[in-house]
């Protein structure tokens, strides 16, 4: 979604690089395995669509604003603060 948003110039992305990859998704078909003792859930893709020629990386935001431990401890949203300052300008 972030890649489509950015590629179509629908706005500006502020934050940290996304996870995932531009090479493709699993198509929404997943097998969910819950381990019996730990109750950890593992999501395994059943179908993988590979898009040749795209980098194996997430989306880099237009403005990188990282989350810090201190910001979380002080209940601060660095991305929102950055965005509001941009809007005022």
Do residues 63 and 49 share a domain?
no
Alpha-carbon distance 79 to 62, whole Å? 12
For residue 31, give the H/E element and its range.
strand 30-34
Is the pLDDT reported for residue 65 higher than 60?
yes
Do residues 88 and 71 share a domain?
yes
Is residue 88 very low, low, confident or very high in pLDDT (cuts 50, 70, 90)?
A: very high
pTM beyond 0.75: no
- Average per-residue pLDDT for the chain: 86
The string over 55-83, giving b where at least 16 C-beta atoms fall within 10 Å of a residue's C-beta and e elsewhere, is: eeeebebeeebeeeeeeeeeeeebbeeeb
Residues of the domain holding 3? 1-19+58-89
Q: How many domains does the chain have?
A: 2
Please compute the mean of the pLDDT values over residues 38-49 and round it to a whole number.
Answer: 80
Is the pLDDT reported for residue 30 higher than 80?
no
Do residues 65 and 89 share a domain?
yes
Distance of CA 13 to the CA centre of its chain: 11
């Amino acid at each position: 979604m972030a890649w489509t948003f950015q590629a179509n110039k629908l706005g500006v992305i502020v934050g940290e690089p996304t996870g995932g990859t531009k090479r493709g998704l699993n198509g929404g078909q997943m097998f969910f395995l819950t381990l019996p003792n730990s109750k950890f859930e593992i999501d395994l893709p059943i179908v993988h669509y590979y898009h040749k020629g795209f980098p194996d990386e997430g989306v880099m935001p237009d403005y990188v604003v990282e989350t810090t431990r201190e910001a979380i401890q002080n209940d601060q949203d660095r991305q929102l603060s950055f965005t509001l300052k941009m809007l005022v300008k």
